[in-house]
Amino acid sequence: MLKKILFISLILTSVFANAQLDSIPKKDTIQAVIINKLAVKKDSQLVSDPIPSLGEIFRPKISLGVGMLSFHGDLYSKHFQAPWTARIGYDLNFSQRLFKSVQLNFNILFGKLGANEWLNNRQENFQSEIRSGGISVLYDFSNLISEYHRVRPWISLGVNSIEFLSKTDAYDQYGNKYYYWSDGSLKNIAETAPTASLAVNLNRDYYYETDIRELNKDGFGRYQERAWSFPIGIGTLVKITDRFDVKLGVQYYCTTTDYIDGITNKSKGTRAGTNQKDNFVYSSFSLQYDLYFKKTSKSDTLPDGYFDNVDWLAVDDGDYDEDGVKDFDDKCQGTPKGEKIDEFGCPFDDDQDGVPNYADEELESPTGVDVNIKGVALTDEYWQNWYNQYMDSGYVAPTEVIENFYTAKKDSTNSKKINKPIDDKLYTVELVRYNGPIPNDEMAYLLSIGDIESTVLPDNQTVMYTAGSYKEILNAIKRRDEFLSEGVNSAKVGYFKNGNIVHLSDDELKKLNQLETEKNASSPNGTSKEESENNENEFAKGDIVYRVQLGAYKNRISKEIFKNAGTVIELKTDDNYYHYASTGYKSIENAAHSKADLVLEGYSDAFITAYKDGKRIPMSATKATMETNEKENIDKIESFSSIDKSLVSFKIQLGALRKANAPDVEEKMKEIEGLEKQTTSSGMIRYTVGLFNNYEKADTYLQELANKGFYEAFVIAIFKGEIISIEEAKELLK
């Protein structure tokens, strides 16, 4: 029977493949390209359509799985086997998709079923070799669930032929027959036998040696050990890669036989079972592989003689975009007619930003600045507008960036020569980088540097610390040498570019210093006014540096939270808290004024600390007048937040529109109480509702709105009237 089922399955596969071949649409893409682009002769005879490849007709998948077979039949008081006593099984599947969400499966299953029953009035056991094969139809909800979801459910229904060979364990390894006594023991002599007093205890060897059908306890004779089954399945399909899937499932096999366990409702005496057929469950895990290869050879797609009528001379001389440059030499196919081109067929690009003049909306983009597909430079103002739009609507408009890689290869023959001044950069000294906690003594040293600044690098993990900002390269070199003399061997001179620092070698520093000296020699005053003012504001060695402590948080928050505190320094402490402090002040009066302003703005718990010569010093050792007698513990760094928690709140944003009074939006929102409209900085109209002092309340209300049909609503966090991230808001409220 099993062989017949597999043979029928192969026939059905062949018929299905032929039916698909007849229904495949004819493809003439290659021929159209030859006619339209490669100038085929007008009197040439078109050849027949290309033949679809075998891969396009039959797209099989194969899966191999392992699982557990649980028996559901006449044994046990509940007639169902516990999962932990199930036997192992294996399955092999070949699948062919019929429609988008339906596939046909050809499957083979083999394994063991078994049960051991020990009731007061009946003791039975069996183990059956199971072999099954058949077909099933699987539905995976592809028409309802997007293909981008990696996890999808499935259900299936099939028909299988099964064969079984059932045996029982009736004798031990020495040939002693098992007798079950009423006291729960297992003996070699029946409890009612005259010689029962001579009985000895036996132990089952769980070797199933006796054929149940041949034993014929109930007089059933030689019944068929094969039947039909109808598996009903449910499970989950998880996509791992484009080729591999993991398939989890449970299938319940409803059979047409009651002989798998050797017991039926017609069995004798206490052996009598139920009217139910013998069924079983297969719980499985399998790995599925897609056998379809998209790459096909020419022999699969094109018949012999396909290109016989092509005029290859015309192909060699072809000029598809009619710009005067042959296709084989044209590096820029598709140039619009009438546009000026170079010898390679490429249109001119005067500012060399990667966008040709005819499509460039900004013909003189700044050198070295990335541009969008319209050739417009992505300046700080552009990105600020982009950010404002995101914050207003929660939607990020796609932005395609073209890297301005031509700028490093400017050719003076076809572009303007740009002479930049020597002092167009601000030089700084990099001291150290950390991608983890900073030891307390090193943190105190950094905070004792009055003009220290911290920068989070693009990897969002590493923090770089720099000192000073100089227009004159000589001053940056002198500052570096000071740090080197103090033992900071990692000190380097550089300048910022695209969010990171560019270090200068000793040869580059020497050359820049020479050019700068020559420039200053020709200047009436010898040095710039800006540099003189900068020198006046520098900290001298031995000065006390005062800072306002702003907070220490478990998770990183944006420096924009403290944007009125000047230059904010970020340091990660030994206890993995992110510590934030203000810029350095030379006098206690300036630090006190800054703290007072911050307190009025809502940073009520901010306090002042002092540093000198690489160490933190107590405020009592400075010129500050202490308002408390409490002793300051300068060795302990505590976690705290200076922010008034009442300044943090949550709202529900329902949507953001370009224009107000949209009829459909107004109609949908008219029943919402407390609806607010706000015009954003980018001119959009933002609709919000509610005001909550914690996220949980806002989220609860969001669920209520979702039940009313506002599925796209989301929670936003507000700090001092401006939107911040939800994570930051939660951190500020801790």
* Residue 488 in tokens: 């900071």
**Mean per-residue pLDDT, 388-408:** 46
**Mean per-residue pLDDT, 93-119:** 91
211-262 pLDDT tens trace = 999 999 889 999 999 999 999 999 999 999 888 999 999 999 999 999 999 9
Supply the pLDDT for residue 270. Answer: 84
Neighbours of 29 (CB within 10 A): 8
Supply the pLDDT for residue 304. Answer: 64
Supply the pLDDT for residue 18. Answer: 45
Burial of 420 (0-12, 13-18, 19+ CB in 10 A): exposed
69 vs 590, residue with greater confidence? 69
Q: Which of 264-268, 475-479, 518-522, 649-653 has the lowest mean pLDDT?
A: 518-522
Q: Is 44's pLDDT higher than 90?
A: no
322 vs 309, residue with greater confidence? 322
**Domains within the chain, CATH numbers bracketed:** 2-55+295-315 (no CATH), 60-169+206-290 (2.40.160.20), 357-409 (no CATH), 430-641 (no CATH), 645-732 (3.30.70.1070)
Q: State the Cα–Cα distance between residues 114 and 116, nearest whole angstrom.
A: 7
Q: What are phi and psi of 518, to 5 degrees?
A: -65, -40
Q: What is the DSSP string of 628-689?
A: --PPP-TT----EE-S-GGGEEEEEEEEEESSS--HHHHHHHTT-TT-EEEE-TTS-EEEEE
At 123, which helix (H) or strand (E)?
strand 123-139
Q: Is 20's pLDDT higher than 50?
A: no
User: Where does 199-251 have alpha helices with state H?
Assistant: 212-215
Q: State the Cα–Cα distance between residues 31 and 530, nearest whole angstrom.
A: 70
Residue 408: DSSP 8-state: G
Q: Which of 173-177, 527-531, 565-569 has the lowest mean pLDDT?
A: 527-531
Share of the chain above pLDDT 70, in %: 75
Supply the pLDDT for residue 526. Answer: 54
570-581 pLDDT tens trace = 998 888 888 899
Q: Which of 1-10, 228-237, 322-331 has the lowest mean pLDDT?
A: 1-10
In DSSP terms, 285 is beta-bridged to: 66, 248
349-372 pLDDT tens trace = 888 888 888 888 788 778 777 777
Q: Is 551's pLDDT higher than 70?
A: yes
694 vs 711, residue with greater confidence? 694
Q: State the SS3 of 510-534.
A: HHHHHHHHHHHHCCCCCCCHHHHHH
Q: Is 32's pLDDT higher than 50?
A: no
Residue 209 and residue 167 in contact, taking contact as beta carbons nearer than 8 Å: yes
pLDDT band at 671 (very low <50, low <70, confident <90, very high): confident
- Return the beta strands (E) in 206-354 as ranges: 210-211, 226-239, 244-255, 279-290
Q: Is 677's pLDDT higher than 90?
A: no
Buried b (16+ CB within 10 A) or exposed e, 684-693: bbbbbbbebe
Burial of 645 (0-12, 13-18, 19+ CB in 10 A): middle
470-528 pLDDT tens trace = 888 899 999 999 999 988 999 999 998 877 788 999 888 888 888 888 777 766 555 55
Neighbours of 278 (CB within 10 A): 30
What radius of gyration do the chain's Cα atoms show? Answer: 41
Supply the pLDDT for residue 562. Answer: 82
Supply the pLDDT for residue 330. Answer: 77
- Return the beta strands (E) in 339-445 as ranges: 371-372, 401-402, 427-434
- Sheet of 492-497: strand order equals 452-456, 463-470, 427-434, 492-497, 500-503
Average pLDDT over the chain reads 78
Distances (CA, A) of 611 to 247, 482, 546, 576, 715: 63, 18, 7, 22, 42
pLDDT band at 295 (very low <50, low <70, confident <90, very high): low
Nearest residue to 643 (alpha-carbon basis) of 604, 608, 607, 609: 604
pLDDT band at 19 (very low <50, low <70, confident <90, very high): very low
Distances (CA, A) of 482 to 180, 451, 489: 95, 14, 11
pLDDT band at 278 (very low <50, low <70, confident <90, very high): very high
Share of the chain above pLDDT 90, in %: 25
Nearest residue to 98 (alpha-carbon basis) of 133, 134, 137: 137
Q: Is 289's pLDDT higher than 90?
A: yes
Residue 324 and residue 343 in contact, taking contact as beta carbons nearer than 8 Å: no
pLDDT band at 263 (very low <50, low <70, confident <90, very high): very high
Supply the pLDDT for residue 299. Answer: 46
Place of tokens 């920068």: 455
Q: State the Cα–Cα distance between residues 259 and 212, nearest whole angstrom.
A: 9
At 570, which helix (H) or strand (E)?
strand 569-572
Q: Is 160's pLDDT higher than 90?
A: yes
Supply the pLDDT for residue 155. Answer: 96
The sign one gets for the Cα dihedral 669, 670, 672, 673 is positive
Supply the pLDDT for residue 125. Answer: 92
| Terminal Cα distance for the chain, rounded | 70
Residue 379: DSSP 8-state: -
Residue 378 and residue 353 in contact, taking contact as beta carbons nearer than 8 Å: no
Q: Is 48's pLDDT higher than 80?
A: no
Q: Which of 58-62, 71-75, 306-310 has the lowest mean pLDDT?
A: 306-310
Q: Is 55's pLDDT higher than 70?
A: no
Q: State the Cα–Cα distance between residues 411 and 389, nearest whole angstrom.
A: 38
**Which among 28-42, 160-174, 310-324, 657-671 has the top mean pLDDT?**
160-174
Supply the pLDDT for residue 305. Answer: 66
Q: Are strands 648-657 and 452-456 parallel, antiparallel or unpaired?
A: unpaired
Supply the pLDDT for residue 253. Answer: 96
In DSSP terms, 433 is beta-bridged to: 464
